[in-house]
Structure 1
Amino acid sequence: MNHPDARTGYVAWQIGQIMAARIERTLRPFQLTLAQNSALTQAIREPGVSSATAARRAAITPQSMGSAVNGLIDRGLLERRTTPGDRRTQRLHATEDGLRLAAEASKALDATHAEALQVLTPTEQEQAHALLLKLLASLNPSAVEGGTP
């Protein structure tokens, strides 16, 4: 049997776990979870995105996304709107407060990512990002539809 580190998927999982913990710590002062940050970011990138689409893109369950969305709505950061002609489909839109908070959180996340990736040269960072996006597009095409994840 191969050593676990020889498996790209295992290494990617480890990196994902480490980055998730770092991102969660970064988002904590903003009182945002990873799922909430994803929902808010997606509503900003694509105003009117559905909660179901946001869940598929984030690779989380619709129930988890629903909980994240409800928390954002309760805080006045996100709102649901019905689509004319389709009253059943609720579309997500960031509020002004949501836009401000997302911008602040994004700056903090940029610093977290830069710190984590500083071991790589800028060219290596671009190459790693491109390869990971290629894998993501293959494994979860929804994540890359409608904009950069």
Structure 2
Amino acid sequence: MGRPDAHPSTRMGYLAWQVVHVMGTRLERALRSLNLTAAQHNALQHVVWSPGISAAEIARRTGFTPQSMGAAVNALVDRGLLARREHPSSRRTVQLSITDSGAQLAERARGVVERLDEEALAVLAPGERAVVHTLLLRMLAELNPDALPTMDLRGTS
């Protein structure tokens, strides 16, 4: 335990929260121009990466509540960006697929995210970017392995 008067910036959790907060705010603002929320963006991208995925699985992978993800998916279905279909072997599971207009919007949103990442990472040299990326992957693999494709990243160095 640190000194009681230690500034919060001496703690990793505080720094991580600050970065996440700033990046999240910038992302929400940028996605507004596409009429998307962060949850909707995550839903679109996960359906692109994993066709047939359920809203519940997207929620597990992204850390959004099932209720928030359900609302995001409903809005995307209502806009004709996602479609639902019954799972072939489980009546309780609904699979999601992306429509042509949804795929186009997902591609535009990816461009927005890439631009934001570049802006945020501009302060780091290429080698530093690689180190930060590797360390974040390792931490995420430990803290929320559902957020990553199936692979073991805990041993990444």
Structure 1 residue 59 corresponds to structure 2 residue 63: yes
Give 1:3's aligned residue: 7
8 Å Cα contact 1:26/1:108 also seen in 2: yes
The 1:146–1:100 alpha-carbon spacing in structure 2 relative to 1, beyond 3 Å, is farther
Q: Provide the secondary structure at the position in 2 that maps to 1:145.
A: coil
Equivalents in 2 of 1:115, 1:145: separation in Å?
25
Number of residue equivalences: 147
Task: Looking at secondary structure, tell me which structure has more helix per residue.
Answer: 1
8 Å Cα contact 1:78/1:98 also seen in 2: yes
Q: Provide the secondary structure at the position in 1 that maps to 2:85.
A: strand
The amino acid of 1:54's aligned partner reads: I
Percent identical across equivalent pairs? 48
Q: Provide the secondary structure at the position in 2 that maps to 1:125.
A: helix
User: What 5-or-longer segments of structure 2 have no aligned partner?
Assistant: 152-157
Deviation at residue 58 of structure 1 after TM alignment:
0.7
Structure 1 residue 130 corresponds to structure 2 residue 134: yes
TM-score by length of 1: 0.95
User: What 5-or-longer segments of structure 1 have no aligned partner?
Assistant: none
Give 1:101's aligned residue: 105
Deviation at residue 3 of structure 1 after TM alignment:
1.7
Equivalents in 2 of 1:124, 1:24: separation in Å?
26
Larger Rg: 2
The amino acid of 1:85's aligned partner reads: S
The 1:98–1:37 alpha-carbon spacing in structure 2 relative to 1, beyond 3 Å, is same
Structure 1 residue 18 corresponds to structure 2 residue 22: yes
The amino acid of 1:76's aligned partner reads: G
Task: Looking at secondary structure, tell me which structure has more strand per residue.
Answer: 1
The amino acid of 2:80's aligned partner reads: G
Give 1:35's aligned residue: 39
8 Å Cα contact 1:30/1:105 also seen in 2: yes
The 1:28–1:137 alpha-carbon spacing in structure 2 relative to 1, beyond 3 Å, is same
Q: Provide the secondary structure at the position in 2 that maps to 1:86.
A: coil
The amino acid of 2:63's aligned partner reads: A
Larger RCO, structures 1/2 (Cα 8 Å, 6+ apart): 1
Deviation at residue 15 of structure 1 after TM alignment:
0.2
Give 1:82's aligned residue: 86
8 Å Cα contact 1:46/1:146 also seen in 2: no
The amino acid of 2:140's aligned partner reads: L
Equivalents in 2 of 1:32, 1:113: separation in Å?
18
Equivalents in 1 of 2:39, 2:91: separation in Å?
25
